[in-house]
Structure 1
């Protein structure tokens, strides 16, 4: 597998390049959306603040729910919703069960980082939240340089349709301190090894960094503590669809900071950044990212 720094792109690879499932991509399309693929989404929905004016949550919430409903992720990780925002999405998206807590008190206070999954397809086998700090087990703890507590929520799911068991983890890194982000990446990689063991794993989230920054390199490095992660955008069998930048600040595309990663035993089938708008207005200041993933074990 190659990472972006090695300069190989989808457009530079042959149509008969090897696939991770042993075939070639000259039969592209035959296995997209099949019963054993899991559609995974990451979506920073932007916390509810009056400072957003016409783009505040009350004017966007229907669009946020509509994006999730229309694109039908099987598993979705959200960043930034407050308790009342998540309550609204629970009501609007009854097909999903949600796991996650507020980052301040481990209950309802502060931004949440929940994982939602389709209850008719998956059985929840285990779940937990840890904080991106020097004491990950301490509720509400934060890195010394972080502005706020940051956390990661994971679920172990059994796919009743495909028969596979896998771990899905959702996270949101610090937005100011580069040191906190880098150390969070090291911690995440170590903790996921403890949590998931040898189960195939998908990690989604807003990392508040680009591909050129240390946290991304930590997560995708060949060497390092724990299991290596692969950016689904560059390892999807059928490549990437749509724009490549995800953070728009409500005023246009700026950079890619939202990701779907997989471990080597999970095959990304296709990957996309969702560019849905309503009369020119996006549903959030981040675009959702989706990947269809195949888990085997």
Structure 2
């Protein structure tokens, strides 16, 4: 593997003791577009594999994973579930047991979208992890409504991670920043909040802005929007308490970003396992 440069944006930092915290990740790894020049997949793939190995999340939602990327990333032997043609990949560590899993095709939009649901057990604790890739614009609401309907009956807490194609700006900002009109008007995160989900980044960092796009530019050359520019999200129901959240900025040895998105990682404290039933008289 090639050496990896890893920068982070995290006001609270990564918890020093992670043994009892579930780490989840979302990362749009960018499909292998032949027009990407120096950012083509063949220049990124070794550093990408090294980053995922180093980060070592228990559960990861990866988007835009094409066939050749799947074959490369599957070489490490971690459990995977892939949702073509939407190219969403659910990846987990070996210490996570899968109780049930399904793929949900999401409606609307010019591109196929999907989500992968996995009911999991980790260290005696259960929950459901959703790896998703949503559309920008009005289709997102219908996609979230379908996800919420499908989650009914699955074990809680529910953790949804993915590329939402959505910023957090209010409706009246849409005409001001025409370049981002579609994503600014996206209400997917608001609908999840209304359903009781908590934005992990905001829970840990408050109103501190974050940005998860790179444009394949190194950090010093990047245009940073003057607002909270996260389009990659991790949200969870209140039973899962976010302890730390960071937005990484991994670079290749050539100082190029691994993707046009930045990965987001969150560490959750989950509800404890149910007490073991005792025999009468003990």
Q: TM-score range by the shorter chain?
A: 0.7 to 0.9
Shift of 1:195: 4.8
Q: Give, in whole Å, the separation in 2 of the partners of 1:249 and 1:86.
A: 23
The CA distance in 2 between the partners of 1:130 and 1:185, in whole Å, is: 11
The secondary structure found in structure 1 opposite 2:234 is strand
* Matched residue, 2:140: 181
Structure 1 residue 89 and structure 2 residue 73: aligned? Answer: yes
Structure 1 residue 232 corresponds to structure 2 residue 200: yes
Gaps of 5+ in 2: 1-9, 170-185, 274-282
1:294 paired residue among 269, 272, 275: 269
Q: How far does residue 287 in structure 1 lie from its aligned partner after superposition?
A: 0.4
**Superposed CA RMSD:** 2.4
Is 2:258 aligned against 1:283?
A: yes
Helix, strand or coil for the counterpart of 1:115? strand
Higher relative contact order by CA 8 Å / sep ≥ 6: 1 or 2? Answer: 2
The answer to whether residue 25 in structure 2 is matched with residue 41 in structure 1 is yes
Alignment of 1:193-272 (within 5 A): 194-197=152-155, 199-212=156-169, 213-221=186-194, 227-236=195-204, 239=205, 244-251=210-217, 252=222, 253=224, 255-272=229-246
Provide the C-alpha distance between the structure 1 equivalents of 2:38 and 2:192, rounded to a whole number of angstroms: 37
CA–CA distance in 1 between the matches of 2:232 and 2:262?
8
Provide TM-score, normalisation by structure 2.
0.77
> In structure 2, what is the Cα distance between the partners aligned to 1:128 and 1:51?
33
Structure 1 position 32, deviation (Å): 4.7
Name 1:112's counterpart in structure 2: 87
Q: Deviations over 1:123-153 (max 9, x none)?
A: 11100011112xxxxxxxxx2xx10221110
Partner residue of 2:56?
72
Aligned residues: 237
